[in-house]
């Protein structure tokens, strides 16, 4: 355990160094202009990193695997589907668009419903092999993505402009008005989630054992699905979808920190996320002087890492 | 399903396709040879029909070849990185030459599609665990990595938008003079038909094929070259049309079995019918505007693929 805490402290140090570098490196001229903007971006990256790590690790425990993540199952595309449908059916003048809270609430409710259906359908008594689920998840992502583009093409051009405003978030275009809402949601989900983390520790022993030890298994599964959908919705609304971040950081955390305790794993994964996002963005912008957004690089690295994990798993299985 | 039913469906849809569009053209208008409407018909409608037919038949056959060579029902240009490699080739040709010519694009795109597919096939050889689901999963990820490189290069050189509109699969811009490259698909399809049985044998594995007196490497290479040629011509003329090469051969195989000589005509016709229907739908849904056909194909195609994944697990083995 002592070993783990030194590891955690190292992660914290690296994360803080990158955050300071990102905030102060090479600020020229208008400090008062650049600094608040950099802070907003750092804030968005920290919130996103924590939200995705938290959601992914809980999701992987209830699905008993380390390759599936909510994003790979298409849950973040669902956010875009919901927003597009709201615009398509109700129009941009609707109260569900104008009122940020109602809009977000509606998106989250729809995503939770989607996640529940997906879970019921895909994880029926563990009948389907993991590869089938992965492929199905990806194809569901493609299906939702093309369905969104399809609606976006036939939507009224004026509506489309305001839809773009809601959808096209990225690290360079953070929705700063959402920053405080996201912080509140993240804080609330931590308070709510703190009580189930211990149950999750027990649940990693398997369904039967956990029930035997007095965990209300199905209720916790439901809670985790709701919570992880809310977290993914928050991060997608703030900076747009980042498919592979959760996969990379959760697996790095499992490798780096040897523990079954979810509280420790989640902290470690969150720190790794922050390092990957802030550090990655810093290197891309200032050291390599590239225009690319960090999500392109994460998708590239994540794709390779994913193939590596799959090949490793398959060797273990075959 | 009988062959004649598919032929009739193809003919009916072709006729509809010729007479659907923003400008109302009736068959009687064509009697006047010099009228504007006849000109529009010849310059826009007929080339569009030909492009759909060629692309539909070509992509389906490309998928069929890949499925028999890899002996995996779910391998296709979409799920083996071929289309993504072809895209990468085009963007690299744009970066290499300031005024890129059509020929340079064709050469680069073809080379990348071929090399990209060969790399994937090599990867397949290395993988011991040949699960029917596992292979396309790796293939899709491989395609995602290639397309991340494409996006990266596009970002860095500010041609991303250019590239995105370029690859949006659509027949809207097909007019005479812009689609003739697709005719290369005809000899490719004929070759595929002639070599059909050999592809099946080659799919049984190198040792087995050699035992039967087949020059394995030559047949394998021919198959991959045909796939790369067809994919390149389609990507360059109409853009990326996903899932077509995946689902059409599978549907045919469900009702016809796997004798390639018999299934090739069905695959060609079903590919045409499917793409024609999607294109007509895309032109009518927001008439008189139209939506890119690849969206319609992707929505329907991925839905069909999902059904196949869950319903057809037994059949796929």
Render pLDDT for B207-237 as a digit per residue (tens, 0 to 9). 888 888 888 888 988 999 999 999 988 888 8
What CA–CA distance (Å, rounded) separates A120 from B182?
A: 45
Average pLDDT over residues B85-100: 85
Q: How many CA atoms within 13 Å lie on the side-chain side of A22?
A: 28
Q: Do B140 and A299 touch (CB under 8 A)?
A: no
Q: Where do we find the tokens 């802070």?
A: A39
- Other Cβ atoms closer than 10 A to B98: 6
Quote the CA–CA distance of B287 and B284 in Å, as a whole number.
5
Q: Which of the given ranges, A145-154, B23-32, B51-60, has the highest pLDDT on average? A: B51-60
For residue A175, the SS3 value is coil
Question: Which distant-in-sequence residues (6+ apart) come within 8 Å of A184 by Cβ?
Answer: none
> Where do the H-state alpha helices sit in chain B?
3-19, 36-40, 46-70, 82-96, 102-126, 134-156, 160-167, 185-194, 196-203, 206-211, 216-237, 244-256, 260-284, 293-311, 313-316
Does the beta carbon of B50 lie under 8 angstroms from any beta carbon of chain A?
Answer: no
Q: Which of A125, A151, A149, A128 is nearest to A73 (CA)?
A: A128
- Residue A157, chain B, CB below 8 Å: the answer is no
Structural fold of domain A2-23+35-317: ABC transporter involved in vitamin B12 uptake, BtuC (1.10.3470)
Q: Is B200 on the interface with A (CB under 8 A)?
A: no
Flag whether residue B296 sits within 8 Å of chain A, measured between CB atoms: yes
Structure tokens at A13: 């140090």
Q: Cβ–Cβ of B137/A131 closer than 8 Å?
A: yes
Tell me the pLDDT tens digit for each residue of A279-310.
988 888 887 777 677 777 888 888 898 888 88
From the CA of B202, how many Å to the nearest CA of chain A? Answer: 25
Q: Is the CB of A11 inside 8 Å of chain B's CB atoms? A: no
CB-based contact, B307 to chain A, within 8 Å: no
Maximum average pLDDT range among A216-225, B59-68, B123-132: B59-68
Kindly give the interhelix angle for A75-90 and A130-154, rounded to the nearest 10 degrees. Answer: 30
| CATH number, domain B3-316 | 1.10.3470.10
Residue among A138, A140, A299 whose CB faces B140 most closely: A138
Q: What is the pLDDT of residue A188?
A: 93
Helix/strand/coil for A98? helix
Distance CA A171, CA B9 (A): 50
What pLDDT band is residue A234 in, cutting at 50, 70 and 90?
confident
Spell out the domain ranges in chain A: 2-23+35-317
Question: Residue B165: is its pLDDT beyond 70?
Answer: no
A144: preceding bond cis by omega (within 30 degrees): no
B4 touches chain A (CB under 8 A): no
Interchain CB distance below 8 Å, B310 and A318: no
Model confidence, pTM: 0.84
3-state secondary structure of A288: coil
Size of interface A-B (CB pairs under 8 A): 101
Q: Could you tell me the residue ranges of all domains in chain B?
A: 3-316
Chain-chain contact of B291 with A291 (C-beta, under 8 angstroms): no
ipTM of the complex: 0.81
Please state at what angle helix A262-274 crosses helix A2-24, rounded to 10 degrees: 30
Residues B219 and B199: beta-carbon distance below 8 Å = yes
Q: Tokens 């490793």 appear where?
A: A312
A93 CB burial (10 A radius; 0-12, 13-18, 19+)? exposed
Residue A30 DSSP SS3: coil
Structure tokens that stand for A85 in this block = 């449908």
- Which of the pair, B76 or B164, is modelled with greater confidence? B76
Is A224 exposed, middle or buried, given 0-12, 13-18 or 19+ CB atoms closer than 10 A? buried
For residue B83, is pLDDT > 80? yes
Count the neighbouring beta carbons within 10 Å of the beta carbon of residue B312: 17
Cα gap B254→B73, rounded to integer Å: 11
**A195-217 confidence digits (pLDDT tens):** 888 889 888 888 888 888 888 88
């Amino acid at each position: 355990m002592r070993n783990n805490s030194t590891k955690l402290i190292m992660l914290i140090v690296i994360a803080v160094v990158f955050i300071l570098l990102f905030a102060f490196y090479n600020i020229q001229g208008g400090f008062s202009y650049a600094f608040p903007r950099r802070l907003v971006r750092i804030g968005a990256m920290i919130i996103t990193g924590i939200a995705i790590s938290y959601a992914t690790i809980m999701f992987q425990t209830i699905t008993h695997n380390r390759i599936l993540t909510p994003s790979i199952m298409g849950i973040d595309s669902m956010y875009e589907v919901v927003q597009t449908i709201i615009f398509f059916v109700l129009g941009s003048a609707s109260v569900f668009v104008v009122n940020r809270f109602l809009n977000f609430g509606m998106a989250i409710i729809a995503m939770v419903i989607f996640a529940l259906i997906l879970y019921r359908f895909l994880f029926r008594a563990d009948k389907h092999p993991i590869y089938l689920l992965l492929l199905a998840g990806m194809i569901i992502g493609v299906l939702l993505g093309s369905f969104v583009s399809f609606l976006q093409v036939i939507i009224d051009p004026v509506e489309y402009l305001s839809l773009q405003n809601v959808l096209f978030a990225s690290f360079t275009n953070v929705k700063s008005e959402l920053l405080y809402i996201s912080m509140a949601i993240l804080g609330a989900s931590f308070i709510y989630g703190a009580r189930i983390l211990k149950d999750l520790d027990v649940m990693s022993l398997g369904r039967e054992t956990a029930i035997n030890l007095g965990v209300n298994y199905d209720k916790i599964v439901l809670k985790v699905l709701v919570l992880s959908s809310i977290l993914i919705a928050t991060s997608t609304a703030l900076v747009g979808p980042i498919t592979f971040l959760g996969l990379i950081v959760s697996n790095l955390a499992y490798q780096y920190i040897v523990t079954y305790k979810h509280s420790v794993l989640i902290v470690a994964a969150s720190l790794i996320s922050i390092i990957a996002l802030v550090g990655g963005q810093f290197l891309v912008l200032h050291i390599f002087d590239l225009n690319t957004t960090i999500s392109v690089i994460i998708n590239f690295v994540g794709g390779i890492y994913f193939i590596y994990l799959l090949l490793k798993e398959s060797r273990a299985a075959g | 399903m009988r062959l004649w039913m598919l032929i009739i469906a193809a003919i009916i849809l072709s006729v509809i396709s010729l007479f659907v569009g923003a400008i109302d053209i009736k068959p009687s208008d064509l009697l006047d040879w010099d009228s504007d409407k006849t000109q529009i018909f010849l310059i826009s409608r007929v080339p569009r029909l030909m492009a759909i037919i060629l692309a539909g038949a070509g992509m389906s056959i490309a998928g069929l070849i890949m499925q028999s060579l890899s002996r995996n029902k779910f391998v296709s240009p979409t799920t083996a990185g071929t289309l993504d490699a072809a895209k990468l080739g085009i963007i690299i040709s744009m970066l290499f030459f300031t005024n890129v010519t059509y020929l340079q694009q064709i050469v680069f795109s073809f080379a990348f599609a071929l090399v990209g597919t060969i790399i994937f096939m090599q990867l397949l050889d290395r993988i011991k665990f040949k699960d029917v689901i596992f292979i396309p999963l790796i293939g899709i990820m491989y395609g995602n990595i290639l397309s991340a490189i494409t996006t990266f290069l596009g970002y860095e050189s500010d041609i991303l938008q250019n590239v995105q509109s370029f690859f949006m699969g659509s027949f809207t811009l097909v007019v005479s003079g812009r689609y003739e490259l697709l005719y290369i698909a005809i000899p490719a399809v004929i070759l595929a038909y002639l070599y059909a049985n050999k592809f099946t044998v080659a799919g049984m594995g190198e040792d087995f094929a050699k035992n039967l007196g087949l020059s394995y490497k030559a047949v394998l290479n021919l198959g991959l070259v045909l796939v790369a040629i067809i994919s390149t011509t389609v990507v360059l003329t109409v853009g990326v049309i996903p899932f077509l090469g995946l689902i059409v051969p599978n549907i045919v195989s469900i009702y016809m079995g796997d004798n390639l000589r018999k299934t090739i005509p069905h695959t060609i016709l079903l590919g045409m019918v499917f793409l024609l229907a999607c294109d007509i739908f895309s032109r009518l849904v927001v008439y008189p505007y139209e939506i890119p056909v690849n969206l319609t194909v992707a929505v329907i195609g991925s839905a069909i693929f999902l059904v196949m994944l869950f319903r057809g697990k037994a059949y796929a083995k």
